[in-house]
């Protein structure tokens, strides 16, 4: 058929298709200039940083220290109200919340909030408790059934060839949507060394384990020495092929990604690091610099976003997030549907929303910017991909499918 079309006709067909493709993203092109990103709000963040530094009488050297950032996490309503104009009702609610839930936000992450319009900020919503947390009767403390998939101290095992070691409850910032809110406790605690040794022995005793994820809390809250020891112990187990680290430090505490830490990580390839950017507002120059250092240390970076209501649960915001991530060399890996954790139901969107976002991403942006949408099955039965349906029919002769544009094709099986 193509052979019968002359060159001029082919060019006209191409122009018409190109015009149609432009129309496919016209709505995104209209709103994109107004989407907030961390690269577009540098001046505001710098001014916020100045205010926070002045309050704590901190130097630039202090600000750049992850230890200083941890020690000065904001966890008091009165301190927060020094920067954010909370009204009396909001402040009283935060006093009440502070008596019942643990919260803390690093000075760096706080600086990313639009102080004057904080109620709209995706940063504020992830960091500062909402009164809705106390009224929540939906969900459970452990919807993932981690306590039912815990065959050894600090181990979570849900798959045949891989498992998790949970090494700490400490984080740079306590995300309000966290799946392990039950572990926040009253203070920061790393795993006892004897428990970690028992976890390592379990791995040695089970030769089918080839992939180990170190998480928490935030695995990078361990000291450089502690990480070096743990990664070295895993290196020494012959059947462990790869190590993974789960961390939100590049997002909430990029100061943690020091040259000294990177020197440790560089010693232990192959190493995969999955982080959690949930908003393009989190993709800042500081986050980029942290990711650059990790990449230079040989780590492979992926992102595991969480689909969160009123934060990233629309196509334009999710597309922008994933495109910003690719610019800093972080591959969008998963979009997790928010888990039904007690106290977090106000974050949970409809699954139909997630499927719609996936359908909108496919074909309208780079395949690299299209992660896998995941629902974690209850009680520890693992990750399940949830995707739009493209297969209409399949038989011994053909598969009938629709494209991302909705066109139907009959394709021979072989």
Distance, CA of 222 to CA of 260 (rounded, Å): 13
Q: What's the Cα-to-Cα distance from 319 to each of 68, 251, 272, 279, rounded to whole Å? A: 34, 18, 23, 10
Judge residue 71's burial from the number of C-beta atoms within 10 Å of its C-beta, 0-12 exposed, 13-18 middle, 19 or more buried.
exposed
65 HSE (CA, 13 A, CB side): 11
What are the residue ranges of CATH 3.20.20.70 in the chain?
146-385
- Give me the helices (H) in 128-268, please: 193-205, 224-235, 249-252, 259-266
Distance, CA of 266 to CA of 254 (rounded, Å): 18
CATH of domain 146-385: 3.20.20.70
Q: Is residue 152 within 8 Å of residue 198, measured between CB atoms? A: yes
**What is residue 168's three-state secondary structure?**
strand
Mean pLDDT of 236-240: 98
Q: Is residue 357 within 8 Å of residue 307, measured between CB atoms? A: yes
Question: Percentage of residues in the chain with pLDDT exceeding 90?
Answer: 81
pLDDT tens per residue across span 144-156: 767 778 999 999 9
Report the pLDDT value the prediction gives residue 179, as an integer from 0 to 100. Answer: 84
- Among 362, 354, 303, smallest CA distance to 331 is for 303
Report the pLDDT value the prediction gives residue 7, as an integer from 0 to 100. Answer: 61
Distance, CA of 340 to CA of 320 (rounded, Å): 26
pLDDT > 80? residue 86: yes
Q: Where are the beta strands (DSSP E) in 232-371?
A: 242-246, 271-275, 300-307, 331-337
Report the pLDDT value the prediction gives residue 275, as an integer from 0 to 100. Answer: 98
Q: Is residue 190 within 8 Å of residue 137, measured between CB atoms? A: no
pLDDT > 80? residue 284: yes
pLDDT-derived band at 138 (thresholds 50, 70, 90) equals confident
Report the pLDDT value the prediction gives residue 3, as an integer from 0 to 100. Answer: 58
Distance, CA of 326 to CA of 188 (rounded, Å): 33
Mean pLDDT of 170-187: 85
Report the pLDDT value the prediction gives residue 140, as an integer from 0 to 100. Answer: 77
Q: Which distant-in-sequence residues (6+ apart) come within 8 Å of 251 by Cβ? A: 109, 275, 276, 277, 282, 287
pLDDT > 80? residue 103: yes
pLDDT tens per residue across span 179-236: 888 777 678 889 999 999 999 999 999 999 999 999 999 999 999 999 999 999 999 9
Distance, CA of 179 to CA of 271 (rounded, Å): 24
Q: Which distant-in-sequence residues (6+ apart) come within 8 Å of 24 by Cβ? A: 363, 364, 405
Mean pLDDT of 21-27: 90
Mean pLDDT of 258-276: 98
pLDDT-derived band at 41 (thresholds 50, 70, 90) equals very high
pLDDT > 80? residue 252: yes
Question: Residue 401 is encoded by which pair of tokens?
Answer: 């499918």
Mean pLDDT of 359-365: 94
Identify the residue with better confidence: 8 or 50: 50
pLDDT tens per residue across span 310-322: 999 999 999 999 9
pLDDT > 90? residue 9: no
The pTM score is 0.94
Question: Percentage of residues in the chain with pLDDT exceeding 70?
Answer: 98
Q: Is residue 321 within 8 Å of residue 278, measured between CB atoms? A: yes
Report the pLDDT value the prediction gives residue 283, as an integer from 0 to 100. Answer: 98
Mean pLDDT of 98-108: 95
Q: Where are the beta strands (DSSP E) in 94-216?
A: 155-156, 162-166, 211-215
- Average pLDDT of the chain to the nearest whole number: 93
Please write down the long-range contacts of 19-28, taking CB distance under 8 Å and 24 or more positions apart.
24/363, 24/364, 24/405, 25/364, 27/316, 28/315, 28/316, 28/319, 28/364
Q: Comparing 32-41, 60-69, 93-102, which segment has the lowest mean pLDDT? A: 93-102
Identify the residue with better confidence: 373 or 11: 373
pLDDT > 60? residue 241: yes
Q: Comparing 8-12, 123-127, 174-178, which segment has the lowest mean pLDDT? A: 8-12
- Buried b / exposed e across 217-237, counting CB within 10 Å, b at 16+? bbbbbbeeebbbebbebbeee
Distance, CA of 237 to CA of 200 (rounded, Å): 9
């Amino acid at each position: 058929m193509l052979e019968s079309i002359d060159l001029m006709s082919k060019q006209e067909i191409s122009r018409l298709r190109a015009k149609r493709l432009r129309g496919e993203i016209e709505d995104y092109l209209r709103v994109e200039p107004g989407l907030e990103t961390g690269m577009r709000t540098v001046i505001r963040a710098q001014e916020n940083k100045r205010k926070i530094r002045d309050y704590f009488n901190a130097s630039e050297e202090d600000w750049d220290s992850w230890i200083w950032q941890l020690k000065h996490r904001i966890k008091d309503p009165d301190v927060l109200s020094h920067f954010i104009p909370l009204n009396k009702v909001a402040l009283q609610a935060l006093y009440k919340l502070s008596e019942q839930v643990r919260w803390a936000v690093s000075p760096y992450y706080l600086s990313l909030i639009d102080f004057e319009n904080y109620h709209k900020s995706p940063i504020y919503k992830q960091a500062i408790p909402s009164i809705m947390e106390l009224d929540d009767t939906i969900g459970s403390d452990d919807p993932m059934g981690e306590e039912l998939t815990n065959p050894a101290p600090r181990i979570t095992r849900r798959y045949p060839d891989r498992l998790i070691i949970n090494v700490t409850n400490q984080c740079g910032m306590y995300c309000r949507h966290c799946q392990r809110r039950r572990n926040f406790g009253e203070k920061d605690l790393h795993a006892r060394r004897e428990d970690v040794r028992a976890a390592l022995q379990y791995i040695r005793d089970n030769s089918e384990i080839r992939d180990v994820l170190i998480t928490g809390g935030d695995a990078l809250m361990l000291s450089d020495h502690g990480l070096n020891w743990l990664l070295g112990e895993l290196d020494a187990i012959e059947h462990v092929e790869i190590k993974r680290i789960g961390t939100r430090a590049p997002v909430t505490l990029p100061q943690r990604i020091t040259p000294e830490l990177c020197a440790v990580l560089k010693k232990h390839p192959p190493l995969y690091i999955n982080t959690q950017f949930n908003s393009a507002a989190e993709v800042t120059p500081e986050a980029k610099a942290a990711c650059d250092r990790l990449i230079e240390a040989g780590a492979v970076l992926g992102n595991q976003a969480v689909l969160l209501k009123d934060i990233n649960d629309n196509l334009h915001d999710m597309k922008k997030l994933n495109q910003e991530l690719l610019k800093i060399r972080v591959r969008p890996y998963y979009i997790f549907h928010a888990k039904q954790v007690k106290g977090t139901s106000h974050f949970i969107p409809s699954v139909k929303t997630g499927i719609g976002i996936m359908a909108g991403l496919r074909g309208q942006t780079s395949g690299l910017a299209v992660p896998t949408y995941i629902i974690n099955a209850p009680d520890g039965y693992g990750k399940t991909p949830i995707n739009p349906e493209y297969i209409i029919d399949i038989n011994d002769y053909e598969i009938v499918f629709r494209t991302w544009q909705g066109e139907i094709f009959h394709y021979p099986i072989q």
